[in-house]
Copies of this chain bind each other. A is one copy, B any other.
Amino acid sequence: MTDETGGSATIGTLEKGFGIIETVEELESATLTDVADEMGLARSTVHDYLTTLCDLEYLVKTDGEYQLGLTFTRLGTSATETVQLSDTITPYLERLADATGETVWFLVEECGRAVYLGHAEGDQAIKTEHSIGGRSYLHCHAGGKAILAQLPDERVEEIIDMHGLPEITEHTITSREALFEELERIRERNYAQNHSEQLAETRAVSAAIVVDDEVLGAISVGGPAHRLRGDRFETELPNQVMSVVNEIRINHRYS
């Protein structure tokens, strides 16, 4: 099988099946031919897969178009629930969003990437392009860097080996040295900043949630660079974020 990421999956049928599911996800709504063309497979083959997935209720067919079934909504809920804090974090996010007026995210690390799991928006919050379950790189993200700073160096190396340090904007950290220096600085201050490293004109402040040497995730506050600057960016927001994170840690210990 021609495979972009070189995954050495032993069971090709599963790879193909999920490939079809992800194709349907990207197209949002797709016909048999759409999927077959997109994946370069024979229509009869795709037909077998699609009917199977419909029988299993992972896809639904409406007016000749296939869509993701709501079984994924259930699995998504289950997957999210396996993450610690996921069920208790929302009030904290909302409080921080109210206090700062900006966009607040809760994110965790999985497979070397950041996954967005919760968010709240203050009254001045900018539109965010991310959604629950969305992913981004760790190295160009305040929350991502806050998490990396808490991981052992060899794990950080592993992650860099997996994903590299792709340059997302001109300010993205792209060398190992610079990244490790940055992580050291973050460890000293206990919070991380993002200076337009992921998206131009956008900044963020974040702190990791660490309980018993385990990194449970990070909380970040982000917004337009013209609002996040000076004392607010350097002192006020970091203190607000760290204060909430501290509260979460304490409450999590006794639960």
| Chain A residues within CB distance 8 Å of chain B | 7-11, 13-15, 17-18, 21, 25, 28-29, 48-49, 51-53, 55-58, 60, 67-83, 108, 110-111, 115, 117, 131-135
Supply 26 A–B pairs (Cβ within 8 Å), ascending by A: A9-B55, A11-B49, A13-B14, A13-B17, A15-B52, A15-B56, A18-B58, A29-B82, A57-B110, A67-B82, A68-B79, A68-B82, A70-B117, A71-B79, A71-B133, A72-B79, A72-B133, A73-B80, A73-B115, A73-B117, A74-B132, A75-B76, A76-B76, A76-B79, A77-B134, A81-B131
A82-B28 Cα distance, complex, nearest whole Å: 7
- Given known pairs A57-B111, A80-B73, the reply for A51 and B131 (CB within 8 Å) is no
Give how many copies assemble into the complex: 2
Cβ-defined contact, B80 with A70, below 8 A: yes
User: In the complex, what residue of chain B is closest to A22 when comparing beta carbons?
Assistant: B75
Q: Contacts A13-B13, A60-B111, A76-B79: A55 and B133 contacting too (C-beta < 8 A)?
A: no
How many angstroms from the CA of A83 to the CA of B76 in the assembled complex?
Answer: 15
